[in-house]
C-alpha cells in the first residue's frame, strides 16, 4: 500500500513554532481527561511525537510517559504502518486516561493502528490534514492534503541568495 500523491506545498515549522503549537495543544487538553482522575499517562508515537509529547507532558505535569514506535514513511513514500515497539500494556490497559501524542496526522493510517492497540485513549496531534482528521480527537493547526510539513529536526539553516542577486 503506497501513497505517492505529489505534495505541492511546503509548510516549514521552526522549533519556536513547534513549541508554541505543542503548548497550545497541551492547554487545550488541560482538564479534558476522564472526570475520575484526569490524564494518567502520555504515550508518544515515535519518533515524530516525542518532542511534542515531552512538551505536553511538561505542561500538564504528567510524569508517566511511554512510547509506541510506528514506521509508516521513508522520506515522503508511504507504506503499511509497522509497529516496531509497543508500550507497556499493563500500564496502558484499554487506554482510558491516556493521552497519545503525535506530530501530525496525514492519511490517518498510523492512528488506525494506534486505535487498535488503545481503543479508549485520547489521540492528539499538533498538525492535521483533512484525510486524517476523523482519526484524531484534538489538534491545533490544519494544513491542506497536498502540503508536506517539514519539522525542525529535518531542516538546517542555510545561505540564501539575495533577491536581486550579486555580480
Ligand atoms: O497519518 P499517516 O499518513 O499515517 O502519517 C503520519 C505519520 O507519519 C509520520 O511518521 P513516520 O512514519 O514518518 O515516522 P517518524 O515519526 O519516525 O518520522 C508522522 O510522524 C506520523 O506519525
Ligand atoms: N515530516 C512529515 N512527515 C509526514 N508523514 C506523513 N505526512 C507527513 C508530512 O507532511 N511531514
Ligand atoms: Mg511518526
Q: Write the pLDDT tens digit of every residue in 5-42.
A: 678 899 999 999 999 999 999 999 999 999 998 999 99
Answer whether residue 165 is part of any domain.
Answer: no
- Which residues are documented as binding site? 47-48, 102-110, 148-149
Q: Report the length, in residues, of the chain.
A: 167
pLDDT, average across residues 148-166: 93
Indicate the pLDDT class of residue 1, thresholds 50, 70 and 90. very low
CA 58 to ligand 2 center in whole angstroms: 24
Q: Write the pLDDT tens digit of every residue in 102-113.
A: 999 999 999 999
* Assembly ipTM: 0.99
Number of separate domains in the chain: 1
What letter would DSSP give residue 10? E
8 A C-beta contact, residue 7 and residue 147: yes
Answer whether residue 1 is part of any domain.
Answer: no
CB atoms within 10 A of CB 138: 16
pLDDT, average across residues 52-71: 98
Answer whether residue 134 is part of any domain.
Answer: yes
- Give the pLDDT confidence score for residue 10 in this predicted structure: 96
Q: Is the CB of 106 under 6 A from ligand 1?
A: yes
Answer whether residue 113 is part of any domain.
Answer: yes
- Identify the CATH number of the domain in which residue 81 sits: 3.40.50.2020
Helix (H) or strand (E) holding 70: strand 65-74
Q: Is the CB of 73 under 6 A from ligand 2?
A: yes
Answer whether residue 3 is part of any domain.
Answer: no
Alpha-carbon distance of 145 to 106, in angstroms, equals 7
- Give the pLDDT confidence score for residue 75 in this predicted structure: 87
Range of the domain at 104: 11-153
Answer whether residue 96 is part of any domain.
Answer: yes
Amino acid at each position: 500500500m503506497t501513497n505517492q500523491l505529489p505534495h505541492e506545498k511546503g509548510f516549514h515549522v521552526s522549533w519556536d513554532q513547534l513549541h508554541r503549537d505543542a503548548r497550545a495543544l497541551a492547554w487545550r487538553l488541560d482538564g479534558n481527561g476522564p472526570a475520575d482522575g484526569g490524564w494518567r499517562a502520555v504515550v508518544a508515537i515515535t519518533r515524530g511525537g516525542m518532542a511534542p509529547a515531552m512538551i505536553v507532558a511538561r505542561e500538564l505535569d504528567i510524569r508517566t510517559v511511554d512510547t509506541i514506535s510506528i514506521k509508516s514513511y521513508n522520506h515522503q513514500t508511504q507504506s503499511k504502518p509497522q509497529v516496531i515497539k509497543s508500550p507497556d500494556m499493563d500500564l496502558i490497559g484499554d487506554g482510558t486516561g491516556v493521552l497519545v501524542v503525535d506530530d501530525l496526522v496525514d492519511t490517518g493510517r498510523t492512528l488506525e493502528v494506534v486505535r487498535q492497540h488503545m481503543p479508549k485513549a485520547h489521540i492528539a496531534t499538533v498538525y492535521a490534514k483533512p484525510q486524517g482528521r476523523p482519526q484524531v480527537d484534538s489538534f491545533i493547526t490544519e494544513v491542506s492534503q497536498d502540503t508536506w510539513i517539514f519539522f525542525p529536526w529535518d531542516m538546517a539553516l542555510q545561505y540564501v541568495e539575495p533577491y536581486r542577486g550579486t555580480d
